[in-house]
Amino acid sequence: GQNIDQPTEMTATEGAIVQINCTYQTSGFNGLFWYQQHAGEAPTFLSYNVLDGLEEKGRFSSFLSRSKGYSYLLLKELQMKDSASYLCAVRDYTGTASKLTFGTGTRLQVTL
């Protein structure tokens, strides 16, 4: 079965750092994605991890530990526009296509 857990909501202050955690238990694993989704809009890609460790991309970093079934997304220097849902998704490769199983998302509210 597929089980992906994220906190439902988080609040942080503009300029601060926030860490959004994701734990997963899935039957297949071939990488983990983080997507950002603003209300009423499509998800947009933020990061991808397939090996253990930290991937840094500007203000966003993502970490993966495959042995622990754990990832986090780190957002630095928070801006008001970062208020959105952040979706953790585990990739399973079927031999032809990548299938993503999404968590329910963490709704981040950035305040002044």
Partner 1 sequence: DAMVIQNPRYQVTQFGKPVTLSCSQTLNHNVMYWYQQKSSQAPKLLFHYYDKDFNNEADTPDNFQSRRPNTSFCFLDIRSPGLGDAAMYLCATSTTGLTYNEQFFGPGTRLTVL
Contact residues for partner 1, defined by CB under 8 A: 4, 30-31, 33, 40-45, 48, 50, 87, 93-94, 96-105
Q: Is the dihedral of CA 105, 45, 22, 69 positive or negative?
A: positive
Distance CA 25, CA 15 (A): 33
Q: Which is nearer to partner 1, 13 or 104 (CB)?
A: 104
Q: What is the dihedral of CA 46, 53, 1, 42, to 10 degrees?
A: 0
Question: What is the longest distance spanned by two Cα atoms in the chain?
Answer: 47
Q: Which is nearer to partner 1, 40 or 53 (CB)?
A: 40
Q: Which is nearer to partner 1, 46 or 110 (CB)?
A: 46
Q: Which is nearer to partner 1, 32 or 110 (CB)?
A: 32
Q: Is the dihedral of CA 71, 51, 15, 17 positive or negative?
A: positive
Shortest CB 108 distance to partner 1, Å: 14
Shortest CB 93 distance to partner 1, Å: 6
